[in-house]
């Protein structure tokens, strides 16, 4: 159960990172 919950947490983090990366890129381009 601990491993499965950790795997789910990692999956959510990876999904969030893939969604946030383009947003961060847009913000950086706006700042520049």
Residue 22, pLDDT score: 86
Residue 26, pLDDT score: 92
Sign of CA dihedral 10, 14, 15, 21: positive
| Calpha distance 26→32 (Å, rounded) | 10
Residue 2, pLDDT score: 92
Residue 8, pLDDT score: 92
- Tell whether pTM > 0.75: no
* Intervals of the chain under pLDDT 70: none
Residue 5, pLDDT score: 93
């Amino acid at each position: 159960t601990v491993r499965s919950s950790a795997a789910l947490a990692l999956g959510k983090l990876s999904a969030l990172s893939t969604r946030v990366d383009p947003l961060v890129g847009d913000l950086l381009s706006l700042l520049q």
